[in-house]
Amino acid sequence: MKFSVIIATHNRAESLRETLAKLAELATKEEWEVIVVDNNSTDRTRAVIADTAKHFPVELRYLFEPEQGKFAALNQAIPASRGEIIATIDDDAFAENDWLDRAAEGLERFGCDFVGGKVLPLWRGPQPVWLPNGPGLHWAVIALMDFGLEPAEFGCNGIPWPLGVNEVTRREAFTRVGLFDNQLGRKAGTLRNQANREWHLRARELGIRGFYIPEMVVHHVISADRLTKRYFRRWLYWHGVSRAILYEKLGVDMESPDDSELDFSKVPHIAGVPRYLYRRPLQSFLKMVRETARRDVVTSFEHELKLWFYAGVFKQRWKNRGVGSHLRLGQQHNQTSNGQS
């Protein structure tokens, strides 16, 4: 089988129905399947899948994962899937009809291990004046991506990792790297959000590469309840918490983990936080005040969000201030490899 499409879902039965209806229109001539992982839903999710499976053009499989968290659901589905290529999409997103074919072409063209593409918004509420129309910090909160019309390598030259709502990966990559760390993914009551990045950082250490393919397009529903400053503030706070957990695990820079260069075992710390980070919140606060005075609502709110990010970092590091980060990522993998050989 060529493709396995995996959807993790939790209490979004009607949204899932729409996503599956759009997936049914995929135009690939390759053999493919869809696996939906019910992540402890209490609504009509199972019934929706059963009803849809009766007339779906390919096999539509149901799995149940009791451990809360999207990445726990993916970790169950990936080993159970049969495709040579594994695609992930969310239960509130709609893929273009040529999505899988464009992904396969990208994998072949660049000889790479994974590809991702554009994630464009489907607004289900008025777009706030403080939300810009282009990539940046704000777009990360609502899982949007658009880096233009040219392919580019992920994890290089300012191009971040692909979003799980639109990512396609060769099975061999999971065999080499392993599965996701669900402790870094979202769970009930949290907005933790670094599981996908942590997997890609591990993958990069093993020479696994991926490319942004602009022709791979998914449209992502942005619900009205996410278009509030309260949601953005909460997301950035948990983003800081997540980056601090990532630091504790891999020893990477909490601000720029993809370009981490420092050996943090040699960096002075105060209460578990690298000493140089203490000036960052002050800088963000002063910039926020300046841009507020200029009535630049977009930039002002961006600097406010950075304050929430640092609040999450400081909270998590204070909580785990006795947990140091003694190894850089490459050193960690080398020691693990040496111990296994």
What is the CATH classification number for the domain harbouring 137? Answer: 3.90.550.10
Q: Looking at the structure, tell me whether residues 219 and 241 fall in a common domain.
A: no
Amino acid at 226: R
| Number of domains into which the chain is organized | 2
Q: Looking at the structure, tell me whether residues 181 and 42 fall in a common domain.
A: yes
What pLDDT does residue 338 have? 37
What pLDDT does residue 341 have? 29
Q: Looking at the structure, tell me whether residues 285 and 146 fall in a common domain.
A: no
For residues 32 and 98, give the distance between their C-alpha atoms in angstroms, rounded to a whole number: 13
* Residue 253 falls inside a structural domain: yes
What pLDDT does residue 325 have? 57
If you compute the radius of gyration of the chain from its CA atoms, what whole number of angstroms results? 20
Going by their DSSP bridges, the two strands 167-170 and 114-124 should be labelled as antiparallel
What pLDDT does residue 333 have? 42
For residues 51 and 118, give the distance between their C-alpha atoms in angstroms, rounded to a whole number: 30
Q: Looking at the structure, tell me whether residues 209 and 240 fall in a common domain.
A: no
Q: Looking at the structure, tell me whether residues 24 and 110 fall in a common domain.
A: yes
Q: Which secondary-structure segment (H or E) carries 53?
A: helix 45-53
For residues 5 and 157, give the distance between their C-alpha atoms in angstroms, rounded to a whole number: 29
**Helix, strand, coil percent content, the chain, rounded in steps of 5:** 45, 20, 35
Q: Looking at the structure, tell me whether residues 198 and 263 fall in a common domain.
A: no
Q: Looking at the structure, tell me whether residues 17 and 89 fall in a common domain.
A: yes
Q: For residue 228, report the phi and psi dihedrals to the nearest 5 degrees.
A: -130, 150
For residues 26 and 86, give the distance between their C-alpha atoms in angstroms, rounded to a whole number: 15
What pLDDT does residue 323 have? 76
For residues 11 and 307, give the distance between their C-alpha atoms in angstroms, rounded to a whole number: 32
* Residue 20 falls inside a structural domain: yes
For residues 173 and 169, give the distance between their C-alpha atoms in angstroms, rounded to a whole number: 7
Instruction: Please choose, from the candidates 55, 41, 53, the residue with its C-alpha nearest in 3D space to the C-alpha of residue 13.
Output: 41
* Residue 341 falls inside a structural domain: no
pLDDT by 10s per residue, the chain, length 341: 999 999 999 999 999 999 999 999 999 999 999 999 999 999 999 999 999 999 999 999 999 999 999 999 999 999 999 999 999 999 999 999 999 999 999 999 999 999 999 999 999 999 999 999 888 899 999 999 999 999 999 999 989 999 999 999 999 999 999 999 999 998 778 999 999 999 999 999 999 999 999 999 999 999 999 999 999 999 999 999 999 999 999 999 999 999 988 899 899 999 999 999 999 999 999 999 999 999 999 999 999 999 999 999 999 999 998 876 544 544 444 433 333 32
Tokens for 174, please give them.
């999971």
Q: Which secondary-structure segment (H or E) carries 77?
A: helix 70-80
* Residue 221 falls inside a structural domain: yes
Parent domain of 314: 232-335
Q: Are the beta carbons of 53 and 103 closer than 8 angstroms? A: no
Q: Which secondary-structure segment (H or E) carries 331?
A: helix 329-340
Single out the residue in 171, 201, 227 at which a domain terminates: 227
How crowded is residue 56: how many other Cβ atoms within 10 Å of its Cβ? 16
Q: Looking at the structure, tell me whether residues 92 and 115 fall in a common domain.
A: yes
Q: Looking at the structure, tell me whether residues 176 and 127 fall in a common domain.
A: yes
Q: Looking at the structure, tell me whether residues 146 and 279 fall in a common domain.
A: no
Q: Looking at the structure, tell me whether residues 39 and 178 fall in a common domain.
A: yes
* Residue 175 falls inside a structural domain: yes
Single out the residue in 227, 252, 270 at which a domain terminates: 227
Q: Looking at the structure, tell me whether residues 84 and 130 fall in a common domain.
A: yes
* 15-22 long-range contacts, CB within 8 A, separation 24+: 15/91, 15/92, 15/221, 16/45, 16/48, 16/49, 16/91, 17/48, 17/52, 18/94, 19/89, 19/90, 19/91, 19/92, 19/93, 19/94, 20/48, 20/49, 20/52, 20/56, 20/60, 21/52, 22/94, 22/95
Number of helices and strands (H, E) in the chain? 11, 11
Tokens for 232, please give them.
């953005």
For residues 236 and 233, give the distance between their C-alpha atoms in angstroms, rounded to a whole number: 5
* Residue 340 falls inside a structural domain: no
* Residue 218 falls inside a structural domain: yes
* Residue 286 falls inside a structural domain: yes
Single out the residue in 195, 227, 259 at which a domain terminates: 227
